[in-house]
Amino acid sequence: MTLHQTKICAFCSIYLRVILLFSAISLLCLQPVAITATAPTNETDRLALLKFKELIPHDPYKILSSWNGSMHFCNWHGITCGRRHQRVTGLDLQGYNLGGSMSPAIGNLSFLRFINLQNNSFYGKIPQEFGHLFRLQRLYLNNNTLGGEIPSNLSICSNLRSIRLYVNKLTGKIPEELGSLMRLQRLEISTNNLAGGIPPSLGNLSSLKYFFVGGNNLVGNIPDTIGQLKGLVSFSIGRNKLSGVLPTSISNLSTQLTGLYIGDNGISGTIPASLENLVNLIVLGLDYNYFTGIVPTNFGKFQKVQLLALRGNRLSGEIPTIIGNLTQLFKLLLEENRFEGTIPPTIVNCQNLQYLGISQNNLGGSIPQQLIGPSFPALIYLNLSHNSFTGKLPFEVGDLKNINFLDFSNNNLSGEIPTSIGNCLMLGLLDLHGNSFEGVIPSSMASLKSLQLLDVSQNNLSGSIPRGLEKLRYLENLNLSFNNFEGEVPIEGVFKNTSVISLVGNTKLCGGIPKLQLPKCLVEVMKPRNSFGHKLAIVIISIVLFLFLFSSILVIYWMKKSKKKSPSMFSTMDLLPSVSYQDLYHATCGFSSDNLIGSGSFGSVYKGTLVQEEKLVAIKVLNLQHKGAFKSFMAECNALRIIRHRNLVKILTCCSSTDYSGNQFKGLVFEFMANGSLDIWLHPELDNENQSRNLSLLQRINVALDVAFAIDYLHNYSVQPIIHCDLKPSNVLLDKDMVAHVSDFGLAKLLSTVDDSSEKQTSTIGIKGTIGYAAPEYGMGDKASIEGDVYSYGILLLEMFLGKRPTDEMFKDGLNLHNFAKIGLPERVVQIVDPILLPREVDVVPTAIVATREDNNDNEIQVDEGARGIANLCQMDANVHKFLVSILEIGLACSIESPKERMKMKEVTSELHMIKKAFLGSGILPGGRGRIQV
């Protein structure tokens, strides 16, 4: 081998060794990278979660007990991991009442896309380390007690789409840096302690749809840059300390804006007429500011608006007639302004109104009959107080069947209080003080079973205090002062408590409880002229009493004897007028199938019109070929002839005749219920033309209370106690005003009012009720009982609020509707209730028709709420949660297996009434100053 060849080989050897060394070094360098991409980073996630757990000492439901070494952290409760790697992408522990501070270690979860810790009890600051989460899209920390400032470095999280920090204790300013989050669609930081102004930089958020900063301490002007937010759907900056004028740039917002609320600030100047551009507004709240001038006439363009709040300003002039164009209005609040003139007659076009407040203005003239007549069937709140209205209170006030709040105080009204006021059976507050009413308090007021406050002070009323007032069990505030009442003061009911009644200024009153310190009432005693006459009177009275007692015994004997005979149709229904078969045949067009509205075991129900009265009715025709149909007919007749209650179906007439073929015919005619049965509202079929029907939470509470009142009446207040025996949604009918009426007494059982142990109280017609609703003891042959009705009511109540029938196919293997509700209470109510009842919460203003629902991936799904009107956004409000739990607990207490342990209907009505009272006063419905809720 030559020297040259040797050098070449040596060079090749060295070159090869270099290559091998480089390869070895490369492998050594690459090895740790591979390890870092799997184990160490996964371990980082696990350690970060454990650090997070360490700072949460309060875990009442032991949710974090699964966070241990027995399973992979991706399977821990509330943890979501990516599919292509084992990295944490989601942390969802909402609503478990977790208490503690938030660990900065969360910032190490670098793959995290959503954090949902809302509705807990976290305190302390939001860690700055959240700014490291560059993949984060949704940050939900609302409804906690977090303090400190909003981290400005959240602006680094450029993928953020939704920030929810409302209802905490955050301080400091809104970071200007948030204006760089170009993908942000929701910024909800209301109900905190934030100060400073609204950063002009927020006008750069071109993707922003929902902007809620209300309920803070923000100051300064509304920046003009807000007009650049072309994508806004709802804008709520109310309950702050903002000042200046409303910038005209607000009018540049997109026409898709449905909610604009700036109430309870210090905004001044006139209302810009240019707001007319926002033609799709559903909520417009300008209340409790310093606006002056008139209401722009072009407000008539807001034909979709449902809530218009202008109260608490300095507006003047007349209420514009264009109000009549706003036919979708359900809430109109004009109180505490300087309006003058009269109420425009065009308001009659707003027949969807539920809340109307015009108090504390300078309005005059008479109260239009149309305003408080049948034109407003849905009205539940009417406040015309502190004006200068004159004349009489129209008799049509009795047509307000659903009214709950009625205030005509401090006007110049005169004449007598209409007796029709007793028809307002839902009335909770009636304030007539400070007028010139005369005459007596109508005795019909004793019908106002829901009345809680009655104030008729400072009038010219006279006569005695009606005894019926002491029987109003919910009446807790009564003011009769400064009138001309005379006579004895009652001593029961509200009159027992001197702290809740006022009688001053009535010098002719006497009696009452001792604490009232009224003079004793004088009683005239007739002295006998002589002892002989006295003895003679005693003898005569004794003889009369003897004859009365003897005749009573004969009557009772005769009645018992006659009961053994077959019942007579004419003895049971002699108080009702009768119609002929021909009348009913023509009323239903020959019992046409087109008029068939329902059918059951013992017959069919038809819709018809009685020619004589031109009245729409429901006609129940018995199928006498069915075994037990005649007994069912007699049971219904016997029950209906002795009951009268607003929540029971009213029988109008009957027919016992023969048809055109000579066959026996029996039928009952009832009031027609325009809204059908409760069943079709709770379970609309997909192919039903009325599939859009649904009942709100308040409507369901009202229906539940209506039915409870009806059953309570049957059990405790009817002339003869009655067991319905077949209570279910299809036997609860709703009239045009959505008032519930219990129907179908074909299985009803009349209880004897005398103690007769030999009497058999078994049902006369087979099974007592319907499967799923019938009490379990009935299946073992027990007699019909009021406790059985209570069970049925409990099941009905659970069905109303859970949206599931007791016969749903999911109920098997020991699971039933009662157990399903019991398992879900109290912390899992969201998972078990009818989804329609779940409100979504915004700051202080309900948003609009179009809301967004976000899933646990990257997408936001548009949800059209349709004609439901205004809806709250977010998860269940704490108050709604409380009310639903309370209602479902009543359902459970009624449907417990042991009859003796079930609630009494008196207790049910009382509890439900208190729930409704709390619901109406909770701010979910009519709210206080600066709040607009639905």
Q: How far apart are CA 231 and CA 253, in angstroms?
A: 8
E-strand spans in 512-602? 596-599
795 token code pair: 């099941």
Bridge partners for 138 per DSSP: 114, 162
Is 726 annotated as catalytic? Answer: yes
CB atoms within 10 A of CB 100: 18
Rounded to 10°, the helix 697-716/786-802 angle is 180
| CA–CA distances in Å: residue 748 to residues 21, 631, 637, 731, 755 | 99, 10, 10, 12, 20
Supply φ then ψ for residue 184, to 5 degrees: -70, 125
> What is the rounded distance in angstroms from the CA atom of residue 333 to the CA atom of residue 230?
28
Q: What is the DSSP letter of 204?
A: G
Task: For 276-423, list the strands marked E by DSSP.
Answer: 283-285, 290-293, 307-309, 314-318, 331-333, 338-341, 355-357, 362-366, 381-383, 388-392, 405-407, 412-416
Q: CB of 232 within 8 A of CB of 211?
A: yes
Q: Give the DSSP per-residue string, 119-144.
A: SSEEEEEPPGGGGG-TT--EEE--SS
The packing angle between helices 786-802 and 817-824, to 10°, is 60
Closest by CA to 352, choosing from 302, 307, 414, is 307
With 0-12 / 13-18 / 19 or more C-beta atoms within 10 angstroms meaning exposed / middle / buried, residue 440 is: middle
Catalytic annotation, pick one of 431, 726, 735, 789: 726
617 φ/ψ angles, rounded to the nearest 5 degrees:
-135, 165
- Go through 710-743 and write b for each residue having 16 or more CB atoms within 10 A of its CB, e for each that does not: bbbbbbeebeeebbbbbbbbbbbbbbeebbbbbb
The alpha-carbon radius of gyration of the chain (Å, integer) is 36
Per 3-state DSSP, what percentage of the chain is helix, strand, and coil (rounded to 5)? Answer: 35, 20, 45
- Residues composing the chain: 934
Residue 648 near residue 735 (C-beta atoms within 8 A): no
Strand partners, 366: 390
Contacts 24+ apart (CB under 8 A), 216-221: 216/189, 216/190, 216/191, 216/192, 216/240, 217/193, 217/241, 218/174, 218/194, 218/242, 219/195, 219/243, 220/196, 220/244, 221/197, 221/245, 221/247
Q: Which residue has the tokens 């700055």?
A: 128
CB 465 within 8 A of CB 443: no
φ, ψ of residue 139 to 5 degrees: the values are -125, 105
What are the phi and psi torsion angles at 332 (to 5°)?
-125, 115
**3-class SS at 689?**
coil
Cα angle value 725/726/730 (rounded, 5°): 160
Q: What residues pair up with 356 in beta bridges, in sequence order?
A: 332, 382
Peptide bond into 826 cis (omega under 30): yes
CB count, 10 Å around CB of 72?
12
CA gap 633, 639 in Å, rounded: 10
Scanning the structure block, which residue is given the tokens 């002892």? Answer: 531
Of the candidates 709, 553, 728, 576, the one whose C-alpha atom is nearest the C-alpha of residue 642 is 576
Strand ranges (E), 428-482: 429-431, 436-439, 453-455, 460-463, 477-479
For the annotated catalytic residues, the residue numbers are: 726
